[in-house]
Structure 1
Amino acid sequence: MSANIHKRVTSQDVAREAGVARSTVSYVLNRTPHQSIPDSTRKRVFEAAERLEYTPSSAARTLRRGRSDVVLCLLPPWPLGSAAGALLAELTTSFSERGLSLVTHIEGDGIQDPGKVWQEIAPAAVLTYHPVPPNTERAMRSAGVRSVVVLFSPEDGPTGGLIRPDERIGRMQAQHLIAAGHGRIGYAYPDRRALVDFAGPRLKGVETMCSEAGLLPPEVCTVPLEAQSAAAAIKHWQYLPEPVTAVCAYNDEVAQALIAGARLSRVDVPRELAIIGADDIPTAALTTPPLTTIRIDHVTEARRIVETVTAILAGKKPPAAWDTAELFTTIIRQSA
């Protein structure tokens, strides 16, 4: 009994089909400049490649160009919701438009070590959410990684980082509530420890705004994505000596849990308790009442990341520091 094994189509097969030299196929398909190849010959090569369903070898491209076309994104084991998914989708599209492929690797127990991943795929660049130890970065660069960029590093972090201060989100949340006349603010913290990298700065932003306004620090409650627990947090806020009248939620999902808890407790939102979220996920506008939130511009976010990486790969100076205020917009609906 035999099996049909399909041999990979090579550039030599395309050259034979088109009746040209293999070097001509390479020049045409790679659009090599300054080559005097007749249009009729170019057409024959493209048609032959299409008939044979020829796909260039990524390994061959890497050898020819001296680098791969892969950008490796190392993600901590965060729960990937709508916001993270939106950013990854925009990054994938933006890199693709520049001839680069984004590969995402989520770190965690039982998952292949990130060191083995970048060694095996030899990426042109590595994106990471946490600073890379100096010895690891040296090993990456020795292996051919030309760009190591730390995403959303703290403001006092490494010079190679891109800063997206989540603290600004907390400041904008509190600013909106204070401007609406609320003098006692709560903060709904997520119950997932993995989110501390985002939740900590957002809470700090709320604390800073309360301090600047001369208010008490925000009363913090951990709120799971469950109505009963959210109702218990609301009860706690209501029975303080100075009751909380408005809450900054870590994100829209936590805010929606609070709205469900308020409904369970027969607390009117926003008349008795105003709630503001963050991320502006697709269901935020469908909540009852529709959720006031902070929108993040993932298109601009992705564009700046890609501009930084591609500039470094091209041997150019990365774009100057940018005003991250352009990333965030307060979307006013009916919950606050």
Structure 2
Amino acid sequence: MTPSAKRVTSSDVARAAGVSRTTVSFVLNNRAEQSIPEATRLRVLEAARRLDYRPHASARALAAGRSDIVLLSIPDLPIGTNISRFVEELASALAEHGLTLVTHLAGANGRSVADVCATVGASAVVGFDPFDEETAEDLRRAGAAVVLPSAVEESPAARPIGLMQARYLIGKGHRNLGVALPGPSGLEPMAQERLRGVADACAEAGIDPPLALDAPLDTEQAALAVDMWIGRSVTAICAFNDDVAIAVLAGARARGLTVPDDLAVIGVDDIPTAGLIHPPLTTIRFGLHEVARRRATAVINGLSGQESGLVAESAATEIVERSSA
């Protein structure tokens, strides 16, 4: 059996460059307060490159006074397009500041987010929802200098999404709305908040409350929901998300209905296929780039000892008008 290769250390780099380990540390950690001759700096960098030196995470953290790990706690929900986009945007924004994003699915393997924080040595922990004070305190004890968002900072805004969908349809002249829910999926709390938003818009317009039905991702089951909506003279549907909206479109097509003439549909998320289906789906798009940048800036500010600057503000949203509504 071939023994594993010995890990290259900063001592190896120092010997190869003919300098002290302290000088290697100053150069590789880019310590601006130390004046290192350019020739020496280049010699150290060349030795590190030649030896394929990789700083050990714990040593790097000790030198910097903190780790470069940011832990993202993802709720135990189906990971759709928006969550994937957000993770990519946040990872990119943090990487610009030399920080590495590690994700953890909340509840996975029964481990708490505080346990994972301690294991990976995260300096900051970011959640989708505000952490309760007990969890936030556990995270701080586990070593997190920054915990975002807190209960008084940025929080989800599910209800305004439903309100936005319904106002759009009502503005198109619809007076009898339906809501397409995702069914059992772990998304029920968010779905109920969006339903309340639609109901608020209906009350605001002086029309009957919406008829809410499950529209699973199955053509025949979605068609059964369409039958009930049509039987109750519903003319427009606020779908929980684009996947559910596409199921409604399939159900309407199975019943020989024309969208939007017989039944208008609006979704949420603007997934890549939303503009490719027939008819192209009217939906709501989130400004996830802005949200990710705000979270990254808040992390950087917090790690620098400043106020996070994160305020109670939802993601920028816009209606993407296509042919389904």
Shorter-normalised TM-score: what interval?
A: over 0.9
Q: Give, as a single letter, the amino acid of the residue that structure 2 aligns with 1:256.
A: I
Compute the TM-score of the two structures, normalised by the length of structure 2. Answer: 0.95
Q: Give, as a single letter, the amino acid of the residue that structure 1 aligns with 2:157.
A: P
Q: Give, as a single letter, the amino acid of the residue that structure 1 aligns with 2:271.
A: I
* Unpaired stretches in structure 1, ≥5 consecutive residues: 152-157
Q: Pick from 230, 234, 247: which aligns with 1:244?
A: 234
Alignment of 1:1-336 (within 5 A): 2-108=1-107, 110-150=109-149, 158-159=151-152, 161-240=153-232, 243-319=233-309, 321=311, 323-324=313-314, 327-336=316-325
Compute the TM-score of the two structures, normalised by the length of structure 1. Answer: 0.92
Kindly state the Cα deviation for residue 86 of structure 1 after the two structures are TM-superposed: 0.6
- How many pairs were matched up? 325
Question: Which segment is superposed worse, 229-238 or 12-21?
Answer: 12-21
Kindly state the Cα deviation for residue 306 of structure 1 after the two structures are TM-superposed: 1.2
Change beyond 3 A, Cα 1:112–1:323: closer
Residues 148-178 of structure 1: CA deviation (Å, up to 9, x unaligned): 1138xxxxxx22x312312221111111111
Given that 1:162 and 1:305 are in contact with CA atoms closer than 8 Å, whether structure 2 keeps it comes out as no
Question: Which segment is superposed worse, 112-121 or 226-235?
Answer: 112-121
Kindly state the Cα deviation for residue 140 of structure 1 after the two structures are TM-superposed: 2.4
Q: Give, as a single letter, the amino acid of the residue that structure 2 aligns with 1:201.
A: E
Given that 1:230 and 1:261 are in contact with CA atoms closer than 8 Å, whether structure 2 keeps it comes out as yes
Kindly state the Cα deviation for residue 107 of structure 1 after the two structures are TM-superposed: 2.6
SS at match of 2:186: helix
Residues 230-259 of structure 1: CA deviation (Å, up to 9, x unaligned): 10011001111xx10000000000000011
Question: Which segment is superposed worse, 57-66 or 295-304?
Answer: 57-66
Distance 1:109 1:21 in 2: 45
SS at match of 1:127: strand
* Unpaired stretches in structure 2, ≥5 consecutive residues: none
SS at match of 2:174: coil
Q: Give, as a single letter, the amino acid of the residue that structure 1 aligns with 2:34.
A: Q
Change beyond 3 A, Cα 1:238–1:176: same
Kindly state the Cα deviation for residue 296 of structure 1 after the two structures are TM-superposed: 0.7
Distance 1:322 1:135 in 2: 21
Percent of paired sites with the same residue: 42
Distance 2:312 2:134 in 1: 29
Given that 2:155 and 2:313 are in contact with CA atoms closer than 8 Å, whether structure 1 keeps it comes out as no
